Structure 1
Amino acid sequence: MDKKKSIEALQFFVTGLTEGAFVHKVQGHIFKSQGFTKLGDKYLGHYTEEMGWVEKFIERIIDLGGEVKVEAMEARELVNDPVDYIKEDLTIQEAGVELLYKCVATLNEDPTTYDIMKGYLADEEEDLYWSQEQLELIEKIGKQNWLNNQL
């Protein structure tokens, strides 16, 4: 087993997911402040769920004898329009799921890390499908009707 490869992969996702989770938290607060309580709660829940994965990744890095790093986050623009945000988030999710598939495929020599990352991949696919469903629903019922459902 190549511990270094596993630690590097886990650290990459600790950094990226922490950033993404924080953005979800802030966006959730923005949506709630706009009156879109259901949507705000959805993204605040994403934050909590994603930070749970970060904790699992950190614990695994430590188990492998690695040092966890706190790395700088990239600056990200916040989006006030909920539909625009879902579209932007979907683009990020699509790239992330593709990257996760590639990453998981390289971890088969470390079954524990493989299983953790495979679980995370399944969770991210679920989030991706939710975003796709929301955009399809918006197309069918219209933006205003969809926004009314988010109150």
Structure 2
Amino acid sequence: MQGNPQIIATLNQLLTGELSAADQYLYHAHRYLDWGLHALWERTHHEMEEERQHAQVLIERILFLEGRPDVASRDPLALGSDVESMLKNDLALEYQVVGALRTAIAQCEQLGDYQTRNELLPLLADTEEDHAHWLEQQLGLIDRIGLENYLQSQMGQAPSAS
């Protein structure tokens, strides 16, 4: 099915954002693992996998619309140097993704591509209600219990060797 070139371009911009987010989460997850913050590693690694799933949805939709997915482009990464800056950078990234998804959904409605809109809605819900919300909670915990107590709570169990 030949898709609207504007929508395909927007989907490729979203794809760049999702792949960039996956890369940022990958880096941060491994920093947490290196520091022995196993609970943070596990959750951040999970978020990376979800970003990759979002990218898969976008790739499949672009291909269905007879477009060419741009899997090579990336936005600049905001890599943190400590736990708090990493969480803040990830939250800022999620807020950018939320804005881009809302804009894309509005564009789809304006151009009458309701199926693409319907495929973007779960990505928006996941980004707002899971990714961003969890990061907001973590930063709130740091404010309430202090960084040292937060870090201690994030040590968790070491991941099993694979």
TM-score (norm 2): 0.85
Q: Secondary structure at the match of 1:68?
A: coil
Residue correspondence of structure 1 range 20-99 to structure 2 within 5 A: 20-99=21-100
**Residue 75 of structure 1: CA displacement?**
4.2
CA–CA distance in 2 between the matches of 1:4 and 1:132? Answer: 36
Q: Secondary structure at the match of 1:107?
A: helix
Counterpart contact for 2:19–2:52, Cα < 8 Å = yes
The residue that corresponds to 2:117 in the other structure is 114
The residue that corresponds to 1:140 in the other structure is 144
Counterpart contact for 2:10–2:104, Cα < 8 Å = yes
Structure 1 stretches of 4+ moved >3 Å: none
CA–CA distance in 2 between the matches of 1:69 and 1:2? Answer: 16
CA–CA distance in 1 between the matches of 2:31 and 2:121? Answer: 31
Runs of at least 5 residues in structure 1 that lack an aligned partner in the other structure: none
Counterpart contact for 2:29–2:45, Cα < 8 Å = yes
CA–CA distance in 2 between the matches of 1:72 and 1:140? Answer: 38
CA–CA distance in 2 between the matches of 1:99 and 1:85? Answer: 21
**Cα deviation digits, residues 27-56 of structure 1 (max 9, x gap):** 101101100001011111111111111111
Runs of at least 5 residues in structure 2 that lack an aligned partner in the other structure: 156-162
Change (3 A) 1:32 1:132: same
* Letter in structure 2 aligned against 1:130: W
RMSD over aligned Cα, in angstroms?
1.7
- State the identity as a percent: 28
- The more displaced of 137-146 and 75-84 is 75-84
CA–CA distance in 2 between the matches of 1:142 and 1:99? Answer: 33
Counterpart contact for 2:24–2:78, Cα < 8 Å = no
**Residue 77 of structure 1: CA displacement?**
4.8
- The alignment of Structure 1 onto Structure 2 pairs a total of residues equal to 151
The residue that corresponds to 2:18 in the other structure is 17
TM-score (norm 1): 0.91
